[in-house]
Chains A and B, each alone.
Chain A
Amino acid sequence: MAERNTHDPKEMTRRRFVASMAATGCVAATSSGVLLADGRFVIPNSEGFLVVDTKKCQGCGSCMMACSLAHSGSASYSESRIQIMQDSFGDWPNDLFIAQCRQCQNAPCVGVCPTGANHVDEANGNVRRVDPELCIGCRMCIQACPFTPARLQWDRDRRKSQKCDLCVDTPFLDEKGGPDGIQACVRVCPVKAIAFTREMPSQTLTDSSYQVNLRDWVWKRLGMTAE
């Protein structure tokens, strides 16, 4: 049974709305969570997370290509759910940054969604994901993401938000995706700088807990530090 999380209802618009119902004595259940009688909104923890080693990444962008190809069948950096940013003139390790969705425990992007498009998919390991049929393109989820850069993307052509679903909905992948399957970015990365874990990283407002050391004796043998 996945753990559940509670958080301050004042943070999010949709939750405030539901909380106002609770104030009248109601206890509400939504597709994304449960509102307790004390006003706290509870969503189940994701059963999977992506962690990365920014010191190991070779900056080839293969993960970004694989992501957009697996989800939409076309190649696009802007629509990749994982973003690799690099400065050719920067010095290691600050020359490159990987921004992946954290599948947050409190998931502000889920809570703020006014239509329930951004939801917890309990049938697929509680992954936080956007249902494009319900998304109205208000971009509130993008604004609610507390991280820089925001871990949700704006699909310019379809006028909708999108986010990492750990490859639950990947019509162009001929393998099962999601927490119980594969993730395209993990599968394609030539140096294994991205990993999937079921253990939830510490929930802080920095990326440090999602940045891990994936370098080993092979990396050292190839001439690069494993520390």
Chain B
Amino acid sequence: MTLYGYAGKILRLDLSAQRAIEIDTADYRSWGGGHGLGSALFWDFCKDKTITDGTDPANVIVVTSSPLNGTLAPSAGRCEVVGVGLNTHPVHWYTRSNIGGRFGTMIRHAGYDAIVIEGKAPNPVWVDIRNRKVVFHDASDLWGTDSRTAQETIWRRMGVPRDVKTGWWNLNETAEEALDPATDQGRTTQRPAIMTIGPAGENRTCGGCLVHDAGNVAAVAGFGGVWGSKNLKAISVIGTGEIPVADATSLLRARSIIKEKYTSDIEQPDFEAWSKIGKQPKLMAMVSPPTDEYRPQACQGCVSGCRARYSVGYGHETKCQVTSWYFAPSRRVARSAKELVEINLRAADAAQRYGLNTYFALTGLHWLEHLVEEGVLGPGKAIHSDLPWEKYGTLEFAEQLVHALSCREDIGADLANGWVQAAYKWGREDDLRTGHMAFSYWGQPEHGYDPRAEVEWGYGSILGDRDICEHCFNIIFTNITASFAFAKPMRIGAEELVSIISEKLSPYAKNRPESLDYSDENMYSEDVAQLVRWHRHYTRFYKESALYCDLRWPDFYNTNTPDRRGATASEDAGEHVFWNAVTGDELSFEDGIELGRRIWNLDNAIWTMQGRHRDMVKFAPFIYETKYEKGELFPFFMWPCRDENGKWVYRDVMGRTMDRQKFEEFKSTFYRLEGWDVDSGWPTRTTLEGLDLAEVAATLDAAGRLGKESAS
């Protein structure tokens, strides 16, 4: 029976024995793909689910694709990675990360839907996967190389032509192999997709990323450090296989609808359109491009590239926060706008090559500056550092800082184990109370969307495992705030906007616009709890399992359409429409949300096994004890709210604190709605069995960690 949308096999890599084992994807079909598939595989193959150290050899990392990867589903080319990470506090939670580019697509052409990484290699290895042929290679001579050198070296060893115009290369090892239909591996013009680590990963730092191509990184979880602990330098995938699609005609038609209906015509575009899927390619860099000689560069299947490859030879494929991690200090020393851009893009390149997460810098650099200004950090100070702080802001300093953090040198020796962990070691935990160290949740930095203002972001992060980095509702802030800040057209008024969005929040908040009321009075309400539930379940399936891009989905509202309704949940080009065309399922949009709820519950079961309890689910003290008064970009933070008369308006929500007690009550509401034990936050048997997870309930029960059923 054809398993539409799937390669059909899952690869288990036993690093300890350097053995490859195949299992059937069909056994895990009910989990969809991506995160759901990864969590199910982690549950089955991580024998000790109580581990709280990502470097434990028992840890299992799963790299997973989606049935949609490489199929023309619009902007669904991501790849999910799950496992116990290295970058949270007080324990290393089971967590997730996400990476773009070509890897998720090429895994499938190589014959696999997911790769399960188990054990620990005795020596450094890299793994060559070609059309289900798996070879472990010694990586001793690659250890110490940066991410680009590692990838280019592996390409050379595989015989990949250097010039993009060289063309077809043969995957067969011998001519005889090519002639026999049973053994012919075929040929391709594509380069193997390689996921690798740099020095930051090799040295097992919490900032260690998985890097693919020039600028795709799975960063926040610290999985690069986990690979380093497993002596795994790189995985290369290449293949010539085809992915069976259930209804190619419907797939092609729906993709055309995205282009014709939901996207403004590229020959006469609306440059200021309010939409996520319907935008023209636009560089998502936080600094100006260094030249106009570049192309937009996209993940596979994307409708709108957000990165670039330039003529100037640096900054390739880097976007978003990575392009500005060093912006604040560099702005003080750059002598021109051109120099400012070059410093930032070259600083980004340094981080990509070392495979270092730059997310720490969002607020971490401010904290280090504070320590320097206070006189406790520097040469001969209480926190000794030989870094040239007098050159702070220069490219030279940036490169030395990246090296130190990646190689556990200087202050990097402590920060490599976690920034909040370092704060405790340095006796600076009070900085988490004053807000000088704005690391909001689980030892991770505030994202620019502070929990006190953008509540769904904060709640989602603390109720989960990491900074969510899910911009589903954040687009509201972006559109509205940009209109206020730059006098751009306010395309949709508050009342219409919340009405359109809530139409799509099925089932929990459908046609309940009050769930989008971000006012002080409503921020702890059951309505907002329902919004957060929808968000957790939507993202767990559609964004992290189906692997739709965070920047392009969901498309709630869309000014390219006459009725301003976006593609999300629509019956002509909604997320589930593409899923069904590829897999042959008959999923409704709500079915996808329900599948997300199942995945979310399995994740909570894993966290529970790791020792989580509701008492741990707390923001950093500064969230409760100080006011949010300084935004990353603007001195105001606009969201839809109901005013005193119940009228919908856009209102500034800056300047408030989180009420500790009210947040505890909010947690209780959330746990109750989820069917979890309100006292502990653990899943209950009734809830788990209702999701066909009886075996999970039994495991929790045996561990003494099954939630109590509610009295009602």
Contacts and interface: CB of A to CB of B under 8 A. Distances in A.
B184 A85 contact: no
B293 A225 contact: yes
A222 B148 contact: no
A79 B239 CA distance: 12
A89 B248 contact: no
Contact of B248 (A60, A69, A83, A216): A69
B117 interface: no
Contact of A59 (B71, B186, B249, B295): B295
B424 interface: no
Interface string B152-176: 1000000000001111100000000
| Most chain A CB neighbours (cut-off 10 Å) among B184, B309, B316 | B309
Interface string B179-194: 0010011111111000
A97 to B, nearest CB: 5
A23 to B, nearest CB: 36
Contact of A149 (B168, B269, B297, B313): B168
A59 B306 CA distance: 12
A152 B267 CA distance: 32
Contacts of A75: 70-72, 242-243, 245
B238 to A, nearest CB: 10
Nearest to B188: A78
A87 B267 contact: no
Contact of B295 (A74, A92, A184, A220): A92
A64 B272 CA distance: 30
B252 A149 contact: no
B259 A190 contact: yes
Contacts of A99: 167, 189
B317 interface: yes
B251 interface: yes
Interface stretch (A36-44, A50-58, A128-136): A50-58
Interface in B512-545: none
B186 A78 contact: yes
B305 interface: yes
Nearest to A192: B266
B161 to A, nearest CB: 9
A205 interface: no
B632 to A, nearest CB: 23
Nearest to A151: B167
Contact of A150 (B168, B215, B245, B301): B168
B263 to A, nearest CB: 8
B304 interface: yes
Given A58-B281, A218-B267, A92 B310 contact: yes
Nearest to B186: A156
Nearest to A157: B242
A223 B284 CA distance: 12
Interface string A184-227: 10011011100000000000000000000000101011111100
A58 B298 contact: yes
B105 interface: yes
B377 interface: no
A3 interface: no
A24 interface: no
Interface in A98-125: 99
Given A58-B281, A62-B301, A91 B164 contact: no
Contacts of A76: 109, 240-243
Nearest to B267: A218
Contacts of A190: 259, 263, 266, 281, 298, 302-304
Contacts of B463: none
B282 interface: yes
A91 B311 contact: yes
Contacts of A220: 292
A149 B184 contact: no
B301 A61 contact: yes
Interface in B52-85: 70-72, 77
A73 interface: yes
A86 B164 contact: yes
A127 interface: no
B526 to A, nearest CB: 41
A134 to B, nearest CB: 19
Nearest to A173: B252
B302 A224 contact: no
A166 interface: no
Given A69-B245, A174-B253, A187-B256, A61 B300 contact: yes
Interface in B3-17: none
Interface of chain B, main secondary structure: loop
Interface residues of A, number: 60
Contact of B292 (A59, A218, A224): A224
Contacts of A73: 244-245, 248
Contacts of B263: 190
Nearest to B168: A149
Nearest to A54: B295
A60 B181 contact: no
A78 B295 contact: no
A188 B164 contact: no
B305 to A, nearest CB: 4
A58 B248 contact: no
Nearest to B215: A88
B507 interface: no
Interface string B271-283: 1000000001111
Contacts of A92: 293-295, 309-311
Given A66-B72, A76-B241, A174 B252 contact: yes
A161 to B, nearest CB: 12
B213 interface: yes
Given A73-B245, A92-B293, A174-B249, A60 B280 contact: no
A68 B244 CA distance: 11
Given A65-B70, A92-B311, A74 B243 contact: yes
Nearest to B582: A75
Contacts of A94: 164
Given A65-B71, A72-B242, A85-B164, A77 B190 contact: yes
Contacts of B243: 74-76
Contacts of B655: none
B297 A77 contact: no
A78 B289 CA distance: 34
Contact of A91 (B185, B245, B268, B312): B312
Contacts of A225: 292-293
A154 B187 contact: yes
Contacts of A66: 72, 252, 255
A176 interface: no
B617 interface: no
B413 interface: no
A96 B302 CA distance: 17
B295 A224 contact: yes
B105 A172 contact: no
Interface of A: 55-62, 65-66, 68-70, 72-79, 83, 85-97, 99, 148-150, 154, 156-157, 159, 172-174, 184, 187-188, 190-192, 216, 218, 220-225
Interface of B: 70-72, 77, 101-102, 105, 109, 148, 151-152, 164-168, 181, 184-191, 213-215, 240-245, 248-249, 251-253, 255-256, 259, 263, 266-269, 271, 280-283, 289, 292-305, 309-313, 316-317
Q: Which 5 A-B pairs have the closest CB atoms?
A: A149-B167, A88-B213, A76-B242, A156-B186, A60-B298
13 contacts: A61-B102, A62-B302, A75-B242, A77-B189, A78-B186, A85-B167, A88-B317, A89-B213, A91-B311, A92-B295, A156-B186, A173-B249, A218-B268
Given A73-B245, A78-B186, A156-B187, 5 more contacts: A60-B305, A85-B164, A89-B148, A156-B184, A174-B252
